[in-house]
């Protein structure tokens, strides 16, 4: 187990993000299927379109973020968004998501957010400055997510917040090589 | 008089005061745990970022204009709130937009944007839960980050039930869940969204925004027209610097990273969105030009100072504040609305200094507040009488102790004193021992061998004139350990001048004392004190007031007596001494906190055989002469704070209280009925006989 992955996991758990380690493609599909329970639609970020088939076979209703109108998520059943992290900050247990406004908005409006994080990315160390500069010049907001939506606005009691995902889970993908290689 | 009435009203609502105390003690502890986990690196880096940005603000604003325009947005640099409102209204009108959804923006509160737009027929929807609650309740935020923290869950439920149209019950989870559904339904059809910003990068034009709910992502994501309203001081150079600043704000507010930190930009490729950045001056650039005021512009708006402010956490932000509330709110109100607005509630700052210890970017908030107080045009005669009269009173008391102690208990005299100087007749006055420290020292051996050198002892007014036993104990301890002690005849530290905002008199006193002590410091002597407020003045206040090398040199030579003698005391204290087994509550005075002396003293009290208990309850509420002053907003509030602290102390079941501060001693003995000792008294009683 890498120390940076451990550091990330500890910090993320402190912030209320559940972390699950997966090592193979079938484990990844199983994990998503189990976390996306409840019959809510699963909205996949564009880079995960290859999962549509696998998740569909598990009986999940899958849609692609690029083909989804964010406004549809404002009412009705809660969606589960599945995204790939562009990076992470081990010290604060934060995941970094990049993408168009539309895809990022779907992330915000999902009831549950599953983030796939390449453990190698943690190990190699993220050049945050490069990532930020790339994000602010290539368009679309950069999200740094460190926990589920929360608020202490009422008597300072911590409860699930009013806007963003109620739950955030991170699948730490550890395959010993760049994880995208497990995509077909 | 308005302030007295407001305080009286809020103190009647015990439940609300209980709620505020619970909330702010919890927040303080959670924040401290989080801040200690990240260490000093981030705060120090952000402090440098803030200083650098403010020093180059003009240049950064020019750079930002080019960046924003290059990235497809438009920068509006406006002089005041009116102009800012006009710009926002103009943007909406040009696009035919009649509905604006908002994420949290204190600057929009500052400029009165909601009222301006609503009076012109534009619907404004706050999406932040706390902001929406106060918007629906037609109140103003009581806290920078938790606008509705003053409301009970039942009150919140009533407000939101009325909006949503069904009874939501009082379980916050159910209330927020219902709000979640309602706000999602409500944002449809809003063409424009407005947000604040935690930091803005001049190089790229990017905004950095933090929230824990994620509502700003909803607002900006849904809107076709995006408007950001922020103060000019939010601009920094470099995206990493902007993220550092936003991250520190979140950590310092809650002790953890924000659930959502978002970087926005550029706007040219933002899927058809139109972007306007409205940067508001509103007095900030003028403050930037002032040597002392500019320090406040470092503020990252974390509200950490609120958690420890004894008066804010008792009365809340609707009494302690205007648009901006709490300790740093005095500064922001003064900058954005002028000193008169700030001075409507600046009296609630008691100069305890705890807020400065919490500030992650080192703003000397109480000194800034003293500066704001000094700008008031209605300086009060009674404040001046107390500031100048307490030392005269002490001189008379030292010469005529029997008479003054007797008259201090006379109802007629106390009524007169209350009428003339506003000293509350129900508050205890110190009892004079008679004589002063110099007279006593003249009768004692002044020629002790001095193998370890010479030190200067600065007793301040209490140990000099009121109860010289503390001063004598200090001198004897120093002599016991081989020091020759010089006790110059000096005036007191002059803290009341600082506390009431008489800064010219304070500077004059500071000059006198620094000039008197400087030759000693130049000769290599340290200056020891037994009164934490005296040390605070010498270390913190005088260098700030005088801004010269001499005061800085004197400040660097100041030592707490017990800490100075700690190595000697460790070898000489007898745990089997006369105080053995006494259960002592150690109350750390505000002005001793953060100096390191408190840990040393606590340890040494244990070595003297005492069973030491302590907890951080903050200020006891006496705060120099403030707690003696009549009125609900002074003695009334002082007693309320003091009783709460006394109640917690009583829970420890101590036999005695130990504290260094003469005024804490007065407050705690009055409200607990327990004997109060100075650590010097404990140490002198607990030395091994050999």
Cα gap A116→A179, rounded to integer Å: 10
Looking at residue B364, its pLDDT comes to: 97
Residues 6+ apart with CB under 8 A from B342: B322, B329, B330, B331, B333, B334, B372
**How many Cβ atoms are within 10 Å of B575's Cβ, its own excluded?**
14
Question: Mean of the per-residue pLDDT values for chain A?
Answer: 85
Distance (Å) from the C-alpha of residue B591 to the closest C-alpha of chain A? 29
Mean pLDDT for back-to-back runs of 10 residues, chain B (690 residues) = 90 94 94 92 96 97 95 94 98 96 96 97 97 97 94 96 96 96 90 96 94 94 95 96 95 94 80 93 97 96 97 96 96 97 95 97 97 88 90 95 95 95 94 93 67 91 95 96 94 95 96 98 97 97 97 98 97 94 97 94 97 97 94 96 97 98 96 97 90
Predicted TM-score (pTM) of the model is: 0.94
Coil, strand or helix at B299? coil
Residues 6+ apart with CB under 8 A from A165: A81, A107, A108, A110, A111, A112, A113, A148, A149, B214
Q: Are B127 and B240 in contact (CB under 8 A)?
A: no
Looking at residue A100, its pLDDT comes to: 87
Most B CBs within 10 A among A68, A98, A138, A151, hence the mutation to make, goes to: A151
Alpha helix ranges (H) inside A58-127? 101-109, 119-124
Is the pLDDT higher at A57 or at B514? B514
Looking at residue B623, its pLDDT comes to: 93
What is the chain A residue with the closest CA to B273? A101
Q: Which residues of B touch A144 (CB under 8 A)?
A: 243, 260-263
Q: Which residues pair with B258 in a beta bridge?
A: none
Verify whether the Cβ–Cβ distance B263 to A132 is below 8 Å.
yes
Cis before residue B36, ω within 30 degrees of 0?
no
Q: Are A81 and A137 in contact (CB under 8 A)?
A: no
pLDDT at A14 over 60: yes
Q: Is A66 on the interface with B (CB under 8 A)?
A: no
Residues 6+ apart with CB under 8 A from A37: none
Among candidate residues B83, B257, B512, B677, the one with its CA nearest the CA of residue A96: B257
Distance (Å) from the C-alpha of residue A57 to the closest C-alpha of chain B? 31
Cα gap B423→B425, rounded to integer Å: 6
Looking at residue B146, its pLDDT comes to: 94
Cα gap A118→B24, rounded to integer Å: 40
Residues 6+ apart with CB under 8 A from B26: A156
How far CA B581 is from CA of B649, B651, B657, in Å, comes to 18, 18, 14
B458 phi and psi, to 5 degrees? Answer: -110, 100
Among candidate residues B354, B351, B346, the one with its CA nearest the CA of residue B307: B354
Q: Which residues pair with B455 in a beta bridge?
A: B485, B526
Q: Could you give the angle at the alpha carbon of B397 between the alpha carbons of B467 and B494, nearest 5°?
A: 75
Cα gap B364→B359, rounded to integer Å: 8
Q: Is A86 on the interface with B (CB under 8 A)?
A: no
Which residue in the set B146, B185, B254 is minimally distant from A75, CB to CB? B185
Token duo for residue B508? 């004059």
Which stretch of DSSP H or E encloses residue B7? helix B2-12
Residues 6+ apart with CB under 8 A from B336: B81, B110, B282, B283, B284, B323, B324
Verify whether the Cβ–Cβ distance A156 to B23 is below 8 Å.
yes
Which stretch of DSSP H or E encloses residue B75? strand B74-78
Looking at residue B79, its pLDDT comes to: 97
Over residues A51-78, mean pLDDT: 82
What is the chain B residue with the closest CA to A141? B264
Looking at residue B176, its pLDDT comes to: 97
Strand bridging mode B583-586 / A159-160: unpaired
Q: Which residues pair with A171 in a beta bridge?
A: A20, A116
Looking at residue B271, its pLDDT comes to: 78
Looking at residue B221, its pLDDT comes to: 92
**How many Cβ atoms are within 10 Å of B662's Cβ, its own excluded?**
25
Verify whether the Cβ–Cβ distance A135 to B263 is below 8 Å.
yes
Q: Is B144 on the interface with A (CB under 8 A)?
A: no
Strand bridging mode A94-98 / A142-145: antiparallel
Distance (Å) from the C-alpha of residue B184 to the closest C-alpha of chain A? 5
Which residue in the set A15, A129, A137 is minimally distant from B240, CB to CB? A129
* Exposure string over B363-390, b if 16+ CB within 10 A, otherwise e: bbbbbbbbbbbbbbeeeeebbbbbbebb
Verify whether the Cβ–Cβ distance A104 to B221 is below 8 Å.
yes
Q: Are B195 and B89 in contact (CB under 8 A)?
A: no
Looking at residue B450, its pLDDT comes to: 57
Q: Which residues of A touch B173 (CB under 8 A)?
A: 159-160
Verify whether the Cβ–Cβ distance A159 to B148 is below 8 Å.
no
Verify whether the Cβ–Cβ distance A141 to B273 is below 8 Å.
no
Which residue in the set A138, A152, A162 is minimally distant from B179, CB to CB? A162
Range ranked top by mean pLDDT from A102-106, A136-140, B318-322: B318-322
**How many Cβ atoms are within 10 Å of B556's Cβ, its own excluded?**
13
How far CA B622 is from CA of B297, B370, B642, B664, B690, in Å, comes to 30, 18, 7, 6, 40
A160 phi and psi, to 5 degrees? Answer: -60, 135
Give me the sign of the Cα torsion angle B58, B61, B62, B63.
Answer: positive
Cα gap B302→A79, rounded to integer Å: 33
Cα gap B14→A171, rounded to integer Å: 48
Most A CBs within 10 A among B168, B203, B214, hence the mutation to make, goes to: B214
């Amino acid at each position: 187990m890498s120390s940076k992955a451990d550091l990330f996991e500890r910090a993320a758990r402190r912030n209320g993000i559940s972390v699950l380690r997966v090592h193979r493609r079938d484990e990844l599909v199983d994990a998503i299927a189990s976390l996306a329970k409840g019959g809510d639609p699963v909205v996949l970020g564009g880079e995960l379109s290859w999962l549509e088939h696998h998740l569909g076979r598990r009986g999940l209703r899958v849609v692609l973020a690029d083909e989804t109108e964010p406004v549809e998520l404002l009412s009705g059943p809660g969606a589960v968004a599945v995204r790939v992290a562009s990076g992470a900050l081990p010290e604060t247990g934060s995941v970094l998501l990049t993408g168009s406004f539309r895809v990022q908005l779907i992330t915000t409006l999902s009831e549950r957010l599953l983030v796939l994080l390449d453990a190698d990315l943690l190990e190699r160390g993220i050049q945050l400055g490069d990532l930020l500069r790339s994000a602010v010049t290539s368009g679309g907001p950069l999200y740094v997510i460190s926990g589920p939506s929360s608020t202490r606005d009422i008597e300072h009691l911590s409860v699930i917040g009013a806007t963003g995902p109620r739950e955030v889970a991170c699948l730490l993908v550890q395959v010993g090589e760049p994880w995208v290689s497990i995509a077909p | 008089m308005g302030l007295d009435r407001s305080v009286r009203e809020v103190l009647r609502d015990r439940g609300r005061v209980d709620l505020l105390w619970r909330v702010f003690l919890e927040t303080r502890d959670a924040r401290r745990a989080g801040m200690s986990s990240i260490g000093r690196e981030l705060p120090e880096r952000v402090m440098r970022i803030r200083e650098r940005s403010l020093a180059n603000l003009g240049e950064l604003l020019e750079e930002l204009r080019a960046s924003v325009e290059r990235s497809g947005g438009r920068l509006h640099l406006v002089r005041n709130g009116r102009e800012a409102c006009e710009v926002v209204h103009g943007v909406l009108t040009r696009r035919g937009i009649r509905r604006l959804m908002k994420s949290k923006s204190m600057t929009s509160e500052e400029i009165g944007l909601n009222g301006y737009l609503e009076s012109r027929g534009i619907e404004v929807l706050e999406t932040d839960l706390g902001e929406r609650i106060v918007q629906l309740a037609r109140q103003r935020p009581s806290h920078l980050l938790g606008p509705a923290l003053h409301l009970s869950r039942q009150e919140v439920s009533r407000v939101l039930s009325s909006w949503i149209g069904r009874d939501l019950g009082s379980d916050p989870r159910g209330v927020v869940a219902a709000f979640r559904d309602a706000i999602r339904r409500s944002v449809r059809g809003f063409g424009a969204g407005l947000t604040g910003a935690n930091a803005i990068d001049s190089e790229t034009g990017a905004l950095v925004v933090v929230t824990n709910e994620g509502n700003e992502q909803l607002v900006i994501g849904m809107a076709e027209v995006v408007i950001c309203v922020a103060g000019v001081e939010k601009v920094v150079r470099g995206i990493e610097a902007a993220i550092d600043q936003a991250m520190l704000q979140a950590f310092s507010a809650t002790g953890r990273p924000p659930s959502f930190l978002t970087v926005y930009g550029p706007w040219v490729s933002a899927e058809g969105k139109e972007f306007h950045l409205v940067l508001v001056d509103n007095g900030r650039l003028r403050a930037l030009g002032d040597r002392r005021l500019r320090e406040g512009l470092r503020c990252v708006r974390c509200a950490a100072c609120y958690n420890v402010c004894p008066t804010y956490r008792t009365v809340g932000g609707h009494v302690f504040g205007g648009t901006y509330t709490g300790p740093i709110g005095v500064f922001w109100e003064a900058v954005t609305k002028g000193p008169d607005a700030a001075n409507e509630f600046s009296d609630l700052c008691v100069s305890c200094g705890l807020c400065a210890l919490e500030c992650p970017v080192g703003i000397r908030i109480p000194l800034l507040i003293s500066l704001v107080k000094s700008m008031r045009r209605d300086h009060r005669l009674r404040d001046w009488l107390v500031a100048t009269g307490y030392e005269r009173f002490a001189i008379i008391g030292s010469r005529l102790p029997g008479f003054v102690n007797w008259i201090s208990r006379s109802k007629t005299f106390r009524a007169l004193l209350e009428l003339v100087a506003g000293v509350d007749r129900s508050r205890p006055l110190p009892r004079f021992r008679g004589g002063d420290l110099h007279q006593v020292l003249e009768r004692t051996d002044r020629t002790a061998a001095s193998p370890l050198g010479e030190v200067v002892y600065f007793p301040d007014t209490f140990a000099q004139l009121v109860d010289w036993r503390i001063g004598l104990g200090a001198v004897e301890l120093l002599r016991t350990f081989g020091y020759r002690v010089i006790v110059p005849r000096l005036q007191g530290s002059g803290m009341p001048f600082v506390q009431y905002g008489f800064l010219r008199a304070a500077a004059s006193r500071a000059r006198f004392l620094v000039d008197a002590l400087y030759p000693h410091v130049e000769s290599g002597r340290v200056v020891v004190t037994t009164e934490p407020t005296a040390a605070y003045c010498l270390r913190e206040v005088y260098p700030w007031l005088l801004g010269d090398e001499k005061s800085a040199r004197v400040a660097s030579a100041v030592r707490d007596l017990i800490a100075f003698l700690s190595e000697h005391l460790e070898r000489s204290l007898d745990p089997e001494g006369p105080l053995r087994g006494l259960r002592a509550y150690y109350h750390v005075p505000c002005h001793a906190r953060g100096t390191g002396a408190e840990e040393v003293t606590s340890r040494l009290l244990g070595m003297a055989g005492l069973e030491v208990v302590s907890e951080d309850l903050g200020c006891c509420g006496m705060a120099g002469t403030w707690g003696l002053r009549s009125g609900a907003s002074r003695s009334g509030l002082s007693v309320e704070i003091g009783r709460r602290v006394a109640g917690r102390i009583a829970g420890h079941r101590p036999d005695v209280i130990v504290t260094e501060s003469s005024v804490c001693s007065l407050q705690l003995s009055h409200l607990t009925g327990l004997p109060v000792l100075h650590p010097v008294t404990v140490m002198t009683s607990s030395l091994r006989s050999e």
